[in-house]
Structure 1
């Protein structure tokens, strides 16, 4: 399966083997048929969404993260000002959690900081 994915992948992709293995694993775990149409569709989306970068920059990610924090706080009936105030606490790197969140650019950065 990974060899089929690798054959269809653009030659310019860095770390082709890792991408091929990850996509093959996804097909297996989802029990998807590795048809040419399915493989090409997945590769097209991967190229469009990430340009085959494992940790691409996500425009507006900080706003998305704040909206999700506010949504979860509201769901638990926690006032937004309380959450925002708590996130102004200084983190171990000397910046507030709020400042760190304001500057995230990738999903891995969100996971790493929070």
Structure 2
């Protein structure tokens, strides 16, 4: 779970074998966020977005990991598997996935133009 500023997080659910259970999404966090999922089973939240959720989501099945943040070091096994599978990206045509389109807005801070 990644903090997306304000009261929004980017999140995705995985099972214990790291299989994705849904698509990554941007979610505005409130006290009802993940309520239906938590009724079914406990959920382990981690990442800098989890700290934001801990103050808002009050559910005994919500477990918040505070031991550290994910590191790029954890990508090594994933990269090695893609290498072994010869699953390479064509860097000439690769486009990053930003999840949401950037929308520029005029600043509302007084004095800036």
Relative to the length of structure 2, the TM-score reads 0.30
Structure having the higher Rg: 1
Name the one with the larger helix percent.
1
Name the one with the larger strand percent.
2
